[in-house]
Structure 1
Amino acid sequence: MYFRYILLLNFEVTKLTILDLDQNQLPSLPSGVFHKLTQLTRLDLDQNQLPSLPSGVFDKLTQVTRLDLEQNQLKSLPSGVFDKLTQLTHLELEQNQLKSLPSGVFDKLTQVTRLDLDYNQLKSLPRGVFDKLTQLTRLDLEQNQLKSLPSGVFDKLTQLTRLDLDRNQLKSLPRGVFDKLTQLTKLWLYQNQLGCSCPLSCQNLYELHCSDQELTYSQTAPTNYQGIALFPWD
């Protein structure tokens, strides 16, 4: 049975901690639908038909640690939509239709360790969009339409261990774009349009996936990897 519409009176269970509404056919959310659920720690809204989110829809969910919006039809995000989710550690936005991100959209998410943005239609990233995500360990940007990256876009992600950038349209990388990623162990770059060598200085890099080939580097002295050059293969 599918729930296509949600009434405000349905969710006045103030002690609820987990709410799973995935795999329904929800076409919209009323703006105050979750305002009574102040104890909620997990909200699953994946695999619905949401084209947008009302401003303030998550503002009372200050205890939520996981929010899943995967496989909807989101075309944009309201500015500040996640600002009250200060305890969030896991945010899933993959498999939507996002073409851009508002500047500062993730600035309040200082506890997030995983952010999934893969399988969207992002053409560019705002400068500094990830700067406040200093606890992030995994960032997925696979299968977007990124043609370039802003200089310093990953500089604050010093805890990042995995970065997926494969299946984009990247033609070049800014010099030093990965230099601050000292904990990075896995990097995906295949199926881009990189036409030149791209120097790396990721001292702990263990797996490098480039074009349709997988290059696995294993070593006992990670500092030997300073200045790895990536050559995309046809």
Structure 2
Amino acid sequence: MHLVLTGATGLVGSAVLQQMLVTPSVSKVSILSRRPVAQVEGHSKARVIIHKDYATYPPELLNQLKDVDGVVWAQGISSVSVSKPEYEQITNTYPLAFARALSTTLAPKPVNFIYVSGEGATTTPSFLTQHWARIKGLTESSLVALSKQPEYANLRPISLRPGAVDPTFHTEVKDFVPRRTAAMGMVEKAALPVFRGLLPSMMSPTKELGKVLVELAMGDGGAHKEGESGVSGEGRTLSNAAMRRLAGI
């Protein structure tokens, strides 16, 4: 299978990429990135497509993706690192633009589009809802709405909401995850064991998270069963509880 990944140099993206590289049935990995990706050096089935503007996708780029089977959209940024308009562009505009472009390129062939959202995102915000949760929820619902339009009917979106992302035991990616500032590193070192002990159900270990995301990208793209633990959004939104259930943890 041919899979596409964005956000490969991020925390979640590094885990997804590692899983793609070791999965025998993944024959090709195309990575959209603004810069080279050190993690794929020496891996013949992976290629990095340097791309700067994620709001537009020229024909020469899309021509390289004509046989794609699935996408993991792991590109993202902390809402405290950018302005609200920038956050909306990165979190909403970019994935929707690529979903439209790729769906049109591949039609009528189905394509799985797996969007990495976040626990706490909501499609029914109130005036108390944080901006990041509102925008991620908007993207989740927009992807589902897009797939219902006739011209994008081959799109198979699934949004997954990780909880506290924990790379502690994922030794294969330790050299590739983004470096933390000293302060962030100290907070993470102190907080993760506490959360792991007191609230294990809120944890998203990166090895298991990456595996579930890749399996979703390789799957049949069908909606999950409403009523199952952690499933919502017409069967196309999976909470961290659903991720852990699918991972067997």
Normalising by structure 2, what TM-score? 0.29
Normalising by structure 1, what TM-score? 0.31
Instruction: Answer 1 or 2: which has greater helix percent.
Output: 2
